Structure 1
């Protein structure tokens, strides 16, 4: 080989190294207001502006007392809302027994969607929003007013046969706000209920905690010590913070049409980023690991188990789950990005981390963001893998040229 050819190959290799160093993930730029948890800031790799902004943003949570007017509530407080007594609503089944009735009115009825109970030949009786004892008095007073019975005690007896599902309006610091159908029973459960011999029914899903989970769970910025329950324009406040310490959680029965408002503290509380009775049990994320050693996600063993993770999983856990960690030491200089969204203001945010830093740094817990539902994690190739890719591309191009030149000679 001639000396000038050797120099040419050396120059090509040096050029490949320089190209491989350029083909890395660039630092993402996030808009002001995108950061919402301290772990999203890395003082080592983030520039001065980002670090200073994180300090100004005051990402540490402080206790805040919300007033009803802050949430747009104008009605009066009603502490009677905080009760464990089941409330009747549309879809509930009741066994109605009337003293002296010869099976003309005594039967099993379902409360209509308008909240009324329809007895044969009688005007509708509205009992939605009442407990069983109050509904008994309502029906008794109705029958006395119609001249169908004398004002005696125990004229009407109601037995709750089955609690149906209810509609609850969720708003505030929950992952999926909106109207939610709570305590829906499966067909199998309804069939088993019709066959049982027991009298009465209890549907434990018609309470506050299951309703919060039906809305995706509370977000990390939720103020769970001051959750508002609104019923008929009146409201009550419930403190659910005991759920984090294993204490007694208020078992408050919800009624059809209730509203639950979870105020936001505008910051992330790490104590709320774990499975509990009021948070999401798990999350679904998206992982991309298209490296030289894994040309597709199936080849990287990224399946349902890798993308369905417990709530409280960090970016580092997802990188291990996506096979982005480990392998050849020469290819260990890899970067990863987390694509997320600030749930408080809806702004997107992209976080960049060097994978080996997360493994070796002692402060890894302070710079490893927690994952939220529907986050995306992407792993980028190392400089050595990039060099190998470019070298292969050059080889694929140069080799045919050499062969053609030999043939031409």
Structure 2
């Protein structure tokens, strides 16, 4: 009966307690059981070793299940009377766990979740109880850079010990209840590709990034340098959901005299997985007049590069100014001779 229960709950219900992983610290309390009471660490092989008992496999299981298994073992060994035996197992410290995230996130890969600083561990002096917010599904996706706009968040795949389940996280964006699965070491998370851009995913949330940093250059007239154009840290950091037009305005590439009306913006984007580079050129006036067109005014993504170029009128004016500078000394000399 116990084995059947363990298989059924291998991917836990969010209403139950957190499943165990190697490195978790537990407190075992048994009345009149001084030989077995104490604080134990889950071994790297996922077992719990208690004196005078064989190793108990606990990885991926929840505390109520382990209490049942330990009680059954103590009774079968003839160490306790089943009528009086009471076993309590409490968490002392939830360890960091390693999981793998693949698919449509900005930084997929092997991740260490719930890692704590030595200072935080030193402050953990309570007799029992711990809360590991980093050991949940949404935390893993956030740690992987957040989902991309083309992610299928209604069919997130969680693979554990060869078993797979599908989780719908769309409620995160609607303020609805979601099945935020607690994770154990070795879990694999796959974020599928929906094959289309979803504007509703391009905003800060529990499973998306809060903002983006871009590289912005405005080294043309009317600004002669980035510092002169106020292109500083604040001008290159944007809330997730900002578009190319926002970067153009932040870089002082828009506005000014009519000579600047035909200026152009260049967006350079590199795919982190393939290394391919995409270059998009747009007239700045089109960006401002059609701000909601996803094709003409795309959303900004992490590490995008934006450059502003002058209009032909401004370029011709620059040539004229240069020629004027070259010939102006001769004009001064001629005026002196005339006097």
TM > 0.5: yes
Structure 1 residue corresponding to 2:25, chosen from 77, 93, 97 = 93
Deviation at 1:151, TM superposition (A): 6.2
Are the counterparts in 2 of residues 172 and 262 from structure 1 also a CA contact under 8 Å?
Answer: yes
Q: Which moved more, 1:367-376 or 1:132-141?
A: 132-141
Where relative contact order (Cα < 8 A, 6+ residues apart) is larger, the structure is: 1
> Which secondary structure state, in structure 2, belongs to the residue aligned with residue 367 of structure 1?
coil
Structure 2 residue corresponding to 1:152, chosen from 82, 85, 88 = 82
Deviation at 1:233, TM superposition (A): 0.5
Q: Deviations over 1:210-268 (max 9, x none)?
A: 11111111111111111111000001111112222222111221111111111102221
In structure 2, the partner of 1:385 is 314
In structure 1, the partner of 2:179 is 250
Deviation at 1:400, TM superposition (A): 6.2
1:83 and 2:13 matched: yes
Structure 1 residue corresponding to 2:241, chosen from 278, 298, 312 = 312
Deviation at 1:277, TM superposition (A): 1.5
Q: Within 2, Cα distance between the matches of 1:224 and 1:206?
A: 19
> Which secondary structure state, in structure 2, belongs to the residue aligned with residue 394 of structure 1?
helix
Structure 1 residue corresponding to 2:278, chosen from 349, 364, 379 = 349
Aligned residue pairs total 327
Question: Which TM-score applies when normalising by structure 1?
Answer: 0.71
Deviation at 1:391, TM superposition (A): 2.7
Are the counterparts in 2 of residues 78 and 236 from structure 1 also a CA contact under 8 Å?
Answer: no
Structure 1 residue corresponding to 2:106, chosen from 175, 182, 201 = 175
Deviation at 1:302, TM superposition (A): 2.0
Q: Deviations over 1:110-143 (max 9, x none)?
A: 2233323344576643311110112223334444
Are the counterparts in 1 of residues 75 and 82 from structure 2 also a CA contact under 8 Å?
Answer: no
Question: Which TM-score applies when normalising by structure 2?
Answer: 0.84
Structure 2 residue corresponding to 1:300, chosen from 226, 229, 237 = 229
Q: Which residues of structure 2 form unaligned runs of 5+?
A: 1-6
Are the counterparts in 1 of residues 290 and 297 from structure 2 also a CA contact under 8 Å?
Answer: no
- Aligned pair in 2 of structure 1 residues 354, 79: CA closer, same or farther (>3 Å)? farther
Structure 1 residue corresponding to 2:137, chosen from 202, 208, 230 = 208
Q: Which residues of structure 1 form unaligned runs of 5+?
A: 1-76
Q: Within 2, Cα distance between the matches of 1:93 and 1:79?
A: 21
- Aligned pair in 2 of structure 1 residues 270, 156: CA closer, same or farther (>3 Å)? same
- Aligned pair in 2 of structure 1 residues 142, 391: CA closer, same or farther (>3 Å)? farther
In structure 2, the partner of 1:71 is none
Deviation at 1:345, TM superposition (A): 6.5
> Which secondary structure state, in structure 1, belongs to the residue aligned with residue 44 of structure 2?
coil
- Aligned pair in 2 of structure 1 residues 305, 210: CA closer, same or farther (>3 Å)? same
1:164 and 2:95 matched: yes
- Aligned pair in 2 of structure 1 residues 140, 78: CA closer, same or farther (>3 Å)? closer
> What CA RMSD, in Å, does the superposition of the two structures yield over aligned residues?
3.0
Are the counterparts in 2 of residues 78 and 234 from structure 1 also a CA contact under 8 Å?
Answer: no
Are the counterparts in 2 of residues 82 and 238 from structure 1 also a CA contact under 8 Å?
Answer: no
Deviation at 1:93, TM superposition (A): 1.6
1:184 and 2:107 matched: no
Q: Within 2, Cα distance between the matches of 1:365 and 1:105?
A: 64
Are the counterparts in 1 of residues 291 and 297 from structure 2 also a CA contact under 8 Å?
Answer: no
TM alignment of 1:358-397, pairs within 5 A? 358-361=287-290, 367-397=296-326
Deviation at 1:404, TM superposition (A): 9.8
Q: Within 2, Cα distance between the matches of 1:398 and 1:353?
A: 36
Deviation at 1:386, TM superposition (A): 1.8
- Aligned pair in 2 of structure 1 residues 393, 97: CA closer, same or farther (>3 Å)? same
- Aligned pair in 2 of structure 1 residues 152, 78: CA closer, same or farther (>3 Å)? closer
